[in-house]
Amino acid sequence: MEVRDCLISAPGKAILHGEHAVVHGKVALAVSLNLRTYLKLKARSDGKVCINLPNIDTFVCWELSELKQLTSSSDKKEEIQRLDAELVKSLREFIGVTNGNLDSSASAILAFLYIYLSLFGSGDMPSLTVSVWSELPTGAGLGSSAAYSVCLAAAFLCATGNIPTPLKEWEQTGRWCQEDLELINSWAFQGEKIIHGNPSGVDNAVGTWGGMLRFLAGKIIPLSRVPLLRILLTNTKVPRSTKVLVARVKDKINKFPSIMIPVLDSVDAISCACEKVLTEMTCEPITGDHYNILEELIDINQHHLNVIGVGHPSLDTLCQVTAARGLHSKLTGAGGGGCGITLLRPETDSTTVQGTMKDLRDRGYDCWETSIGGPGVQQHFPSSVKEEIMEVLNQY
């Protein structure tokens, strides 16, 4: 079997509002982050299957004959709600990681092999090379593993013919229909389970659908239309443990329930108010008032996140540095360091943006100018992808 080459990308994710509150039954808004992961699938004719992940220094090739021995006995292509535990076990043995936690390289390989074998294992297995390059920092809570899993799922589902290749000859990019996206999302979720154990499913849903999702009590609802918002994404690079931060919030709620429960209610109302404004922005002329409200909501939520105990001096600095230029920031995700987002207004000029980015980099932070609310997984015509990314991918 020979596959057709293809080029696919999927976005990262950021939490716009509702991080932590979502753990306590409140709404969270997850948005696509237009720092993307790009996957190039290329057919080979030498009977090898290769993966190149230069971001995490991982380059591996296998003989098809080796992989054929790993095929799961049962054909479970249709039943993708649960992981095939037998296949995971044999894959772990195959790559020699039977015990404990996986590093990012091992978990990326495992997710690759799992989806490859699940989708091709019952038929003709193709010789191919998958190369992936991501603009996202890894391990920063920005959904880099989900973007990777979404790209893998989309590429292999196209290669097997389970879904069409949506790219029309005269277009730069192509998107799939709802049904196909659901299939991509299901397989990407399998990859996330392998990498994270017990993921919420939000990251792969954002990577698949893009735009904005409402997440409430385990239910994920893609929101039909949202405006594209320019932002700065800042990584303070202060390491934090999501688990420790979640526990800290829980302790604070137990210590001061009558003070903290209203704060979670207020965060919930912020998410709802934000969703309302964003919806309005798609169906009426966008005004400065819309942005004023978005900025106010960011400021209020950042105070609330400090109140529930997930602030950090590095995030205070982010807020101060951007406030000095009239910009509004909040942490995104777990807090306690990690990443923050800064809203840019349509009229924010490049001098302000560049100056702010310089100020933040001078403090040792990484900083990107990007957007939220952009498209989910898509197929690209190579010329539509930034040259520097194609240069990386064409090395393999």
Give the catalytic positions in this structure: 145, 203
Q: Which is nearer to a copy of itself, 247 or 259 (CB)?
A: 259
Number of residues lying near a copy of itself (CB under 8 A): 20
Residues 236-265 that bind a copy of itself (CB under 8 A): 256, 258-260, 262-263, 265
Distance CA 264, CA 27 (A): 10
Please name which of 47, 235, 41 lies closest in space to residue 152, comparing C-alpha atoms. 41
Span from 43-51, 120-128, 187-195, 266-274 in contact with a copy of itself (CB under 8 A): 266-274
**Which phi and psi (to 5°) does residue 366 adopt?**
-85, 145
By the rule CB under 8 A, 272 interacts with a copy of itself: yes
In the complex, what is the shortest distance from the CB of residue 33 to a copy of itself, in angstroms, rounded to a whole number?
25
The reply to whether 59 sits near a copy of itself by the rule CB under 8 A is no
Closest to a copy of itself by CB, 159 vs 293, is: 293
For residue 67, give the nearest of 41, 42, 90 by alpha carbon. Answer: 90
Q: Figure out which of the listed residues 48, 269, 366, 375 binds a copy of itself, where binding follows CB under 8 A.
A: 269
8 A C-beta contact, residue 118 and residue 111: no
346 touches a copy of itself (CB under 8 A)? no
Q: Compute the 3-state secondary structure of the chain and give helix, strand, coil in percent, each to the nearest 5.
A: 45, 20, 35
Would you state the structure tokens that stand for residue 144, as one six-digit string? 């880099």
- Residue type at 109? I
Specify the residue, 299 or 369, whose C-beta has the smaller distance to a copy of itself.
Answer: 299
Q: Does 300 bind a copy of itself (CB under 8 A)?
A: yes
363 binds a copy of itself (CB under 8 A): no
Please pick, from the candidates 89, 225, 303, 361, the single residue that binds a copy of itself as defined by CB under 8 A.
Answer: 303
Is 221:213 a contact under the CB 8 Å cutoff? yes
Contact 187, 119 (CB under 8 A): yes
Q: Give 100's DSSP letter.
A: S
Backbone angles phi, psi at 256, to 5 degrees: -130, 65
Smallest separation, CB 303 to a copy of itself (Å): 4
- Give the 3-state secondary structure of residue 353: helix
289 lies in the binding site for a copy of itself (CB under 8 A): no
Instruction: Candidates 105, 172, 266, 384: give the one binding a copy of itself (CB under 8 A).
Output: 266
- Closer CB to a copy of itself, 6 or 267, in the complex: 267
140 makes contact with a copy of itself (CB under 8 A): no
279 binds a copy of itself (CB under 8 A): no
CB 259 → a copy of itself: shortest distance, Å?
4
Taking each helix axis from N to C terminus, what angle separates 144-160 and 104-120, rounded to the nearest 10 degrees? Answer: 20
CA atoms of 223 and 29, how far apart (whole Å): 10
Note the residues at the interface with a copy of itself (CB under 8 A): 256, 258-260, 262-263, 265-266, 269-270, 272-273, 296-297, 299-300, 303-304, 306-307
